[in-house]
């Protein structure tokens, strides 16, 4: 296997033009001959001076050691049976390719070595970088009530094939935007529909039920969580991301519920059981967000005593020299229900977002919220008040599991338990994005099980025409049946009060997005595929949409 460095790849012209995408064959990353031993999964995170690595083994073992160049990094055991481990390698040289290897306590190799590179320092001036983004990769692959062609989620083979194609373009980093896990509790087990309740109860009992009254770790819940998540995360990623630093931002399903508000329950902000399950799942499987000099250390989601020093579980930064900065934010864990002063992110996170957006020293800035700007499907926890026009009275409950019904969205009825402050926060963030003097406003999102690209030109009283904000749906990796038109009774639509320009009309298809970032422009490429199309086409998938966003000409 050829060990590419990012610098070597960029010398090939890999960030310039479609012809320069220079992809490996789509399946090469999935089965490349790298010896992984007993590893189940391995996923790294990185910044300019530090690596964090999460891994798991199929059987219990003594804690391994991670060799990073000449360093020996001890493991932190993250589970109760000594199968899951975390590593924190600090004090590394920026923009440097390291050789990593897992060894046992006698220094015997457990895996082959693999390369991983730190990023350029924040004040460095790199010429280009490629970023991968996608959403909704989770979902158990084999529900017994469905055939292979009707499973709610794509098979692992298809998801891995899509991921292999994305990785064949050799991105410097990957951002997975929410819904890494689907294992909803009350929204399934206490559904108003008897068939949903019965099917969920039988399925969860067969895998191992979760007890909402017990902690996640060290109880019967631990084995149940591993049984639920290993097939949809550990077996999906395996070791495919070992040389690709990755960012996993949580959304509603990662806290073990769909975002719903009814007269019987409200699922967000997360209840104690949701936090316990969600935090334990992240500790087992996903690297936390490493510190960034420009991100306050004491924000919500940071500083937990059971995590590595300085990391955040909810708010992250991809920083690549002075070329690119992506601000990644969880819109579920800390949302508030306080009317006009509510927000999908807490006040200190909003202050960080607006401060970084106002700072023009980095060439390109991206917002990466776990919940999208620019589209609505009438869901409860959206920035927007749009809701399905069903029922009686002046209030409507957001629809779920429409099963073929079609709904008109309206703002003439109140969306049950929706908070006006969410939209007001959206307005402040949009104003900050559009108000950048030197940069275009760019938002990368997921959640809606679709792919598309719009420019937001107005939002209620906000006139954004002098610098419209690009909103991009990056594409879902795992969706099989849960398209908005089926689950919500509507395609993703333009929210009332927004003026949009379609750059790539929304499509209910699987896919991913690549962003080639150069000093003066960002080139967006969207890829699409859907079950029922030829599977072999995934291996040579080409962009269906390419668009270049230049930096602003400020004279």
Spatial CA neighbour of 500 closest among 465, 541, 451, 548: 465
To which H or E segment does residue 38 belong?
A: none
Domain match, 247 and 131 both: yes
Q: Is residue 525 part of a domain?
A: yes
- Report d(CA 350, CA 430) in Å as an integer: 12
Domain match, 161 and 233 both: yes
Residue 446, CA distances (Å) to 361, 371, 402, 487 in order: 27, 6, 21, 16
Which one of 76, 102, 118 terminates a domain?
Answer: 118
- Judge if pTM exceeds 0.85: yes
Q: Is residue 510 part of a domain?
A: yes
Please list, in sequence order, all residues whose beta carbon lies within 8 angstroms of the beta carbon of residue 185, skipping any fewer than 6 positions away. Answer: 210, 212, 256, 257, 273, 274
3-class state of residue 22 by DSSP: coil
Q: Which residues share a beta bridge with 384?
A: none
- Report d(CA 161, CA 165) in Å as an integer: 6
Domain match, 169 and 93 both: no
Domain match, 434 and 293 both: yes
To which H or E segment does residue 244 belong?
A: none
Q: Is 406 exposed, middle or buried (0-12, 13-18, 19+ CB in 10 A)?
A: exposed
Map tokens 């067969």 to a residue: 206
- Report d(CA 307, CA 464) in Å as an integer: 41
Query: pLDDT tens digits, the chain, 555 residues: what are they?
Result: 333 333 443 333 334 444 456 565 544 444 579 999 999 999 999 999 999 999 999 999 999 999 999 999 999 999 999 999 999 999 999 999 999 999 999 999 999 999 999 999 999 999 999 999 999 999 999 998 899 899 999 999 999 999 999 999 999 999 999 999 999 999 999 998 899 999 999 999 999 999 999 999 999 999 999 999 999 999 999 999 999 999 999 999 999 999 999 999 999 999 999 999 999 999 999 999 999 999 999 899 999 999 999 999 999 999 999 999 999 999 999 999 999 999 999 999 999 999 999 999 999 999 999 999 999 999 999 999 999 988 888 998 887 665 667 888 999 999 999 999 999 999 999 999 999 999 999 999 999 999 999 999 999 999 999 999 999 999 999 999 988 888 778 889 999 999 999 999 999 999 999 999 999 999 999 999 999 999 999 999 999 999 999 998 754
Domain match, 232 and 369 both: yes
Domain match, 113 and 203 both: no
Map tokens 């794509």 to a residue: 154
Q: Which CATH number fits the domain that encloses residue 83?
A: 2.60.40
Q: What is the full DSSP assignment across 130-184?
A: EEEEEE-----S--TTS-TTT-SB--HHHHHHHHHHHHTT--SEEEEES-S----
End-to-end CA distance of the chain: 48
Q: Is residue 65 part of a domain?
A: yes
Domain match, 76 and 139 both: no
Q: What are the residue ranges of helices labelled H in 371-410?
A: none
Domain match, 381 and 470 both: yes
Q: Which CATH number fits the domain that encloses residue 221?
A: 3.60.21.10
Instruction: Tell me 266's DSSP state.
Output: B
State CA 157 to chain mean position distance: 20
Structural domains in the chain (count) = 2
* Complete edge-to-edge strand list for the sheet that includes strand 65-68: 71-74, 65-68, 97-103, 114-117
Q: Are 345 and 373 in contact (CB under 8 A)?
A: no
Q: Is residue 19 part of a domain?
A: no
Diameter over CA atoms, the chain: 71
Angle of CA points 8, 45, 299, to nearest 5°: 135
Domain match, 92 and 237 both: no
Q: What are the residue ranges of helices labelled H in 243-292?
A: 272-285
Domain match, 399 and 505 both: yes
Domain match, 103 and 146 both: no
Q: Indicate the angle between helix axes 347-358 and 420-434, nearest 10 degrees.
A: 20
Rg of the chain over all Cα atoms, to the nearest angstrom:
22
Instruction: Tell me 399's DSSP state.
Output: P
Domain match, 99 and 147 both: no
Q: Is residue 436 part of a domain?
A: yes
Q: Are 460 and 120 in contact (CB under 8 A)?
A: no
Q: Which domain holds residue 420?
A: 126-550
Which one of 101, 118, 135 terminates a domain?
Answer: 118
Instruction: Tell me 110's DSSP state.
Output: S
Q: Is residue 339 part of a domain?
A: yes
Which one of 65, 96, 118 terminates a domain?
Answer: 118
Spatial CA neighbour of 503 closest among 545, 465, 541: 545
Q: Is residue 64 part of a domain?
A: yes
């Amino acid at each position: 296997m050829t060990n590419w460095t990012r610098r070597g790849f960029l010398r090939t012209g890999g960030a310039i033009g479609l012809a320069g995408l220079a992809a490996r064959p789509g399946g090469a990353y999935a089965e490349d001959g790298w010896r992984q031993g007993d590893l189940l999964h391995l996923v790294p995170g990185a910044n300019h001076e530090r690596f964090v690595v999460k891994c798991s083994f199929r059987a219990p073992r003594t804690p391994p050691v991670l060799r990073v160049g000449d360093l020996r990094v001890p493991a932190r055991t993250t589970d109760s049976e000594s199968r899951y481990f975390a590593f924190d390698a600090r004090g590394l040289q920026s923009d440097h390719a390291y050789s990593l290897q897992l060894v046992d306590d006698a220094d015997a190799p457990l895996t082959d070595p693999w390369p991983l590179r730190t990023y350029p320092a924040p004040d460095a001036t790199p010429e280009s970088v490629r970023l991968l983004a996608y959403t909704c990769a989770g979902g158990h692959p084999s529900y017994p009530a469905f055939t292979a062609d009707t499973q709610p989620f794509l098979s692992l083979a298809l998801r891995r094939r899509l991921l292999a194609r994305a990785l064949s373009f050799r991105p410097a980093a990957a951002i997975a935007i929410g819904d890494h896990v689907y294992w909803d509790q009350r929204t399934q087990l206490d559904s108003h529909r008897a068939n949903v309740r019965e099917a969920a109860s039988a399925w969860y009992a067969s895998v191992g039920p979760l007890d909402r009254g017990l902690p996640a770790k060290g109880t019967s819940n631990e084995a149940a969580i591993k049984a639920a998540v290993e097939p949809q995360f550990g077996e999906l990623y395996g070791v495919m991301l070992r040389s690709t630093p990755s960012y996993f931002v949580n959304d509603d399903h990662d806290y073990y519920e769909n975002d719903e508000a009814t007269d019987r329950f409200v699922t967000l902000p997360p209840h104690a059981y949701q936090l316990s399950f969600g935090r334990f799942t992240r500790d087992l499987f996903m690297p936390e967000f490493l510190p960034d000099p420009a991100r306050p250390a004491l924000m919500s989601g940071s500083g937990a005593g059971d995590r590595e020093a300085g990391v955040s579980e909810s708010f992250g930064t991809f920083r690549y020299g002075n070329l690119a900065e992506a601000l990644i934010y969880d819109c579920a864990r800390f949302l508030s229900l306080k009317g006009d002063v509510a927000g999908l992110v807490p006040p200190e996170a909003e202050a960080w977002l607006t401060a970084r957006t106002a700072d023009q020293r980095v060439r390109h800035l991206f917002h990466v919220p776990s919940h999208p700007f620019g589209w609505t499907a009438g869901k409860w926890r959206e920035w927007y008040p749009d809701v399905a026009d069903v029922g009686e009275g002046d209030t409507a409950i957001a629809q779920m599991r429409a099963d073929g019904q079609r709904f008109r969205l309206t703002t003439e009825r109140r969306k049950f338990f929706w908070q006006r402050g969410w939209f007001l926060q959206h307005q402040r963030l949009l104003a900050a994005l559009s108000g950048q003097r030197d940069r275009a406003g760019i938002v990368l999102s997921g959640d809606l099980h679709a792919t598309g690209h719009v420019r937001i030109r107005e939002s209620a009283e906000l006139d954004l025409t002098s610098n419209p904000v690009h909103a991009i749906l990056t594409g879902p990796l795992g969706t099989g049946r849960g398209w908005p038109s089926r689950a919500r009774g509507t395609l993703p639509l333009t929210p009332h009060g927004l003026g949009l320009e379609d750059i790539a009309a929304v499509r209910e298809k699987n896919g991913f997005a690549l962003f080639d970032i150069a000093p003066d422009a960002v080139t967006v490429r969207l890829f699409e595929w859907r079950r029922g199309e030829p599977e072999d086409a995934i291996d040579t998938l080409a962009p269906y949409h390419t668009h270049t966003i230049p930096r602003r000409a400020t004279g």
